[in-house]
Structure 1
Amino acid sequence: MTTTATPASPGRMPGQIKYIIGNEACERFSFYGMRNILVPFLISSVLLGYLPEGSEREAMAKDVFHTFVIGVYFFPLLGGWLSDRFFGKYNTVLWFSLIYCAGHACLALFEGNRTGFFTGLFLIALGSGGIKPLVVSFCGDQFDQSNKDKAKVVFDAFYWIINFGSFFASLFAPLLLRNFGPAVAFGIPGVLMFIATVIFWAGRRQYVNVPPSGNDPDSFLNVIRTALRERRPGQGNAGALVAWGGIVVAVLMLALWALKAVGADLPWWPDSFGFVITACLALGVLIAFGGWGASLQLERARGRHPDAAVDGVRAVLRILIVFALVTPFWSLFDQKASTWIIQGNAMVVPHEQWWWPSWLVKEPAQMQALNPLLVMLLIPFNNLVLYPALRRMGFVVTALRRMGWGIAISGVSWIVAGVLQLWIDGGAEVSLAWQSLPYLLLTFGEVLVSATALEFAYSQAPHAMKGVIMAFWYLTSTFGSLWVLLTNAGVRNDGFKAMIAQTGLSEPAFLMFFFAAFAFVAALAFALYARRYPMQDNYRVAT
């Protein structure tokens, strides 16, 4: 049952939307403000003072950043579950927002204390991740059949606000760090997050609150469980064996990590595989083997669950393969806030050039502002110019083709970044302005992948499974950062370092070309799978 204190007037924009949009604007500025200065702060801070300046400290800063990103995109699973099962969207968003505020406070107060600062990062990952899957859907709950035509306007505003907040946060947060220090640079995003929470709370008497659904007997996990447990005379249980094999492997991995952590001598288990890497690998094994096993005997769930639920689970399992092939893209994309900032620090800011906005752009980290700015320009360009032109030329611009090309173009952006690194390694003074080209290519890839993927997943998944799809979509970023952590762990190996040295490339240049190749291989695998993917159309039928 849906309850509301102030029902929306028929055909009109719900008045409570202003509170949700205001909350989103402040929250996005707070998140990108702290996120985009995290790596430069760590490189220069006493938190990593136990490491010598240079590549070791930069590598650790990257590890911390990508571990943080893993948490941000893992905790939506927790937030969505708590909302759906127990507390509803409003209460879950409000309480996670308070955790979020506490995390910002820790960053500002404990800039020189490793435990306090890393606790703050954990709380921000928990709070930001916890509300991530809920705010947009909570916004959608405010509309009904009488004013649903206004929802698109609001969702467009959401997208615009996200990029607006990211743009200004990327521009000004590095200046705050440079001119006023970390306490202010992390404190101002914290103040904005507190304002975001107050704005959200202020609309509490006007919101439509859809109560939690509780335990759905035909949910994704319940259908999977039935398929794996159901026994049929004369049929084997290959699916269940595969799923149990995944559970055994995942538990074994966690056990090996635990033994290593208490000092056991396990030379064949990498020292650099800490808890985060091991837990993510174990989660990946569970998803892969569980999904494979369920697909082998999914038909056994029919009769115990409606056909629509079983077909929905099969659609989700197919989409998961698409999502898995997208994870390499995120390993490239999220490094613009780590690897590319480190590269920018070795470049020359062209203050002497008349065309360079020296009054505003003073730090390499500010180049990240190009990403949201280009997103706001490229989406209308693609929709109004590029796609219509390609259609007139006879090219069919499908969602899967756009995503495959987006992954490949992101690989090209890293080829360009690698060439810039070769110039730097050769002793040339390279202008920071050159980074505009890889940013343009990477953002073009992002628009083709990210904006298209949600449209694709929405069309492929039945209505009852759309929430599950969103949870798995966020996990693509988690596994994208996992690939970065695994690569960073690999370059600490003496044998791998020797191999890099034999190429004649510096470690940064080698890794840039490595990630470009990673993207090209993923794009090829994506194209091969897309050719045999059975497209569905699960848009709601108009009434």
Structure 2
Amino acid sequence: MPENTSFTTASEPPRKLPRGVPFIIGNEAAERFSYYGMMSILTIYLSRHLNLGDVEGKKIVHLFATAVYFLPLFGAWIADKWLGRYWTILTISLFYCAGHGVLALFEGNLPGVYLGLTLIAIGAGGIKPCVSALVGDQFPPGNEQGLTRVYGWFYWSINFGAAFGFALIPMLRDKHGYSWAFGVPGIAMAVATFIFWLGRKNYIRVPPQRKSSQAGVMTVLLFAFNNQSQRKPGQRWLDVALAKFNAEEVSAVRAVARIALVFLTVPVFFALYNQVNSTWVLQGEKMKPFDVFGFKVDGERMQAVGSILVMIWVPILTYLVYPLSEKAGLRPTPLRRMGLGMVLAGVTYVISGWMQGRIDAGEQLSLAWQLVPYIVLVAGEVLVSATGLEFAFAEAPQSLRSMMMSLWLLTIAGGHFLIAIFTDLNARFVKASGAKELYFYAGLMFVVSVIFMGIATWVTKRNQSAAAS
């Protein structure tokens, strides 16, 4: 498994798009069609087709998604220590294809559903940190501006594939049943794997570090924790580790700690955003569908709107809002963007709660009303998600980039897990429903936004202090 470790070529100037990027973006678009096409019908499939009920169906969806976003830790470890990113993506994609096949073959069978979702979770979770990190690997030093822009388009490609999945798979289900609706995403995943393989000669591949001479993060942390009695006046908590480890190793741990601290409150944001695939679908089923050029939009198909809005918001923010903010002297730093995105999520649930209150009162609202919270929530999601990918890669040490990407994805897993827990506790004890439940999430998000802003301010000051020294 030879690895191409060259970072520049004579024929490729720093500002030119690296040759491997189009293949990675094409792969990501097809893979996201596969995943979100399956997700578009999963909530109703479990709740209604398998008669599990809304609460149990919602719990299974979010526990499955928790696994999808938790398993990147496993994929990142394999990539960083053993196979490298290219071979990890190529081999684990086979589990992904098999999972879709099991869902299609065992339609209506609950054990078959659990097996299929398990295989998909292994595949989707295993490759997820590697794909996003592989994009960053294609950019040599000196092309940081290109990296920022391409991460925006990488995120755009995710939603390009997702939009088609959300729109087409429910339609396929209506005409041909669930077996075909689960099988076609499997075919899309096979296409994604093939596209990725086609670009094999164009990728810059960073070799795995099976035996690193650099101390691990936990090794440095444990030494610092056990030797705090040796800390001298004026030293910071990690400075005691300099007695055994070099400055580069300690600096890497500081970077990881800063990233983890910034990400600490992000799961709450995703607890709200991730409900577009469950709570919002169930809400949409109680609203009146509408037509767009003869295309029926119901609660399931409405999920495509979120992906379409991302494709609109990404270029607007990247090419209009951010540059204008810079000219106005309001520098849109990653942490400022993320903080604003969290506030918008809270606003979204105030709007959604107001809508739900009208539904609870017996009004039959048009599903078109959901466009309003979608527009606000997706703007916030772009501010948080696209920025989070950029922040994680820029701040992470070279040897830990896949692991830091998986840490970001772990925040999404945390969001899904929070919803599964909240749903279960609410059904057992609180029994709040409708508008009250949505207003609770709005209030929670506003509180967490304030906490995030405090953390962001502290991290910024520490970074400035470190740069000055």
Q: What TM-score, normalized by structure 2, do the two folds share? A: 0.88
Aligned 1:64-213 pairs, distance under 5 A: 64-142=60-138, 155=151, 157-204=153-200, 207-213=203-209
> Following TM superposition, by how much is the alpha carbon of 1:510 offset from its aligned partner in structure 2, in angstroms?
1.6
For the structure 1 residues 389 and 8, does the alpha-carbon distance in structure 2 shift closer, same or farther, using more than 3 Å as the test? Answer: closer
> Following TM superposition, by how much is the alpha carbon of 1:361 offset from its aligned partner in structure 2, in angstroms?
3.1
Alpha-carbon distance in structure 2 between the residues aligned to 1:226 and 1:489: 40
2:422 to 487, 498, 506: 487
1:317 to 257, 266, 280: 257
What's the counterpart of residue 521 of structure 1?
447
2:46 to 42, 46, 58: 42
The letter of the residue matching 1:441 is V
What's the counterpart of residue 382 of structure 2?
447
Q: Is the 8 A contact 1:2 1:210 kept in 2?
A: no
> Following TM superposition, by how much is the alpha carbon of 1:491 offset from its aligned partner in structure 2, in angstroms?
1.3
> Following TM superposition, by how much is the alpha carbon of 1:312 offset from its aligned partner in structure 2, in angstroms?
2.6
The letter of the residue matching 2:273 is F
For the structure 1 residues 153 and 434, does the alpha-carbon distance in structure 2 shift closer, same or farther, using more than 3 Å as the test? Answer: closer
Alpha-carbon distance in structure 1 between the residues aligned to 2:39 and 2:268: 21
Give percent identity, aligned residues only.
39
Alpha-carbon distance in structure 2 between the residues aligned to 1:32 and 1:462: 31
Q: Is the 8 A contact 2:151 2:386 kept in 1?
A: no
Alpha-carbon distance in structure 2 between the residues aligned to 1:404 and 1:231: 34
Q: Is the 8 A contact 1:4 1:206 kept in 2?
A: no
Farther-moved stretch of structure 1 (134-143 vs 401-410): 134-143
1:348 aligns with 2:288: yes
> Following TM superposition, by how much is the alpha carbon of 1:481 offset from its aligned partner in structure 2, in angstroms?
1.3
1:224 aligns with 2:221: yes
> Following TM superposition, by how much is the alpha carbon of 1:9 offset from its aligned partner in structure 2, in angstroms?
6.7
What's the counterpart of residue 476 of structure 1?
411
Alpha-carbon distance in structure 2 between the residues aligned to 1:462 and 1:487: 35
Q: Is the 8 A contact 1:10 1:147 kept in 2?
A: no
Alpha-carbon distance in structure 2 between the residues aligned to 1:529 and 1:218: 27
> Following TM superposition, by how much is the alpha carbon of 1:3 offset from its aligned partner in structure 2, in angstroms?
3.5
* Uncovered stretches (5+) of structure 2, i.e. residues with no partner: none
Alpha-carbon distance in structure 2 between the residues aligned to 1:389 and 1:175: 41
Alpha-carbon distance in structure 1 between the residues aligned to 2:226 and 2:364: 64
For the structure 1 residues 140 and 398, does the alpha-carbon distance in structure 2 shift closer, same or farther, using more than 3 Å as the test? Answer: closer
Alpha-carbon distance in structure 2 between the residues aligned to 1:368 and 1:202: 31
For the structure 1 residues 127 and 424, does the alpha-carbon distance in structure 2 shift closer, same or farther, using more than 3 Å as the test? Answer: same
Larger-gyration structure (1/2):
1
* Uncovered stretches (5+) of structure 1, i.e. residues with no partner: 52-56, 236-294, 351-355, 501-506, 539-543
Q: Is the 8 A contact 2:228 2:237 kept in 1?
A: no
Q: Is the 8 A contact 1:5 1:205 kept in 2?
A: no
**Would you say how many aligned residue pairs link Structure 1 and Structure 2?**
458
> Following TM superposition, by how much is the alpha carbon of 1:529 offset from its aligned partner in structure 2, in angstroms?
2.6
Q: Is the 8 A contact 2:224 2:237 kept in 1?
A: yes
Q: Is the 8 A contact 2:129 2:403 kept in 1?
A: no
1:420 aligns with 2:346: no
1:306 aligns with 2:252: no
Q: What TM-score, normalized by structure 1, do the two folds share? A: 0.77
What's the counterpart of residue 373 of structure 1?
308
> Following TM superposition, by how much is the alpha carbon of 1:206 offset from its aligned partner in structure 2, in angstroms?
5.6
Aligned with 1:3: secondary structure? Answer: coil
Farther-moved stretch of structure 1 (326-335 vs 199-208): 199-208
1:386 aligns with 2:321: yes
Aligned with 1:437: secondary structure? Answer: helix
For the structure 1 residues 430 and 471, does the alpha-carbon distance in structure 2 shift closer, same or farther, using more than 3 Å as the test? Answer: same
Alignment RMSD = 3.1
The letter of the residue matching 2:302 is M
For the structure 1 residues 198 and 60, does the alpha-carbon distance in structure 2 shift closer, same or farther, using more than 3 Å as the test? Answer: same
The letter of the residue matching 2:28 is E
> Following TM superposition, by how much is the alpha carbon of 1:391 offset from its aligned partner in structure 2, in angstroms?
5.3
> Following TM superposition, by how much is the alpha carbon of 1:227 offset from its aligned partner in structure 2, in angstroms?
2.4
Aligned 1:262-411 pairs, distance under 5 A: 297-350=237-290, 356-357=291-292, 359-390=294-325, 395-411=330-346
What's the counterpart of residue 265 of structure 1?
none
> Following TM superposition, by how much is the alpha carbon of 1:487 offset from its aligned partner in structure 2, in angstroms?
0.9
What's the counterpart of residue 370 of structure 2?
435
> Following TM superposition, by how much is the alpha carbon of 1:440 offset from its aligned partner in structure 2, in angstroms?
0.6
Higher relative contact order (CA 8 A, sep 6+): 2
What's the counterpart of residue 3 of structure 1?
3
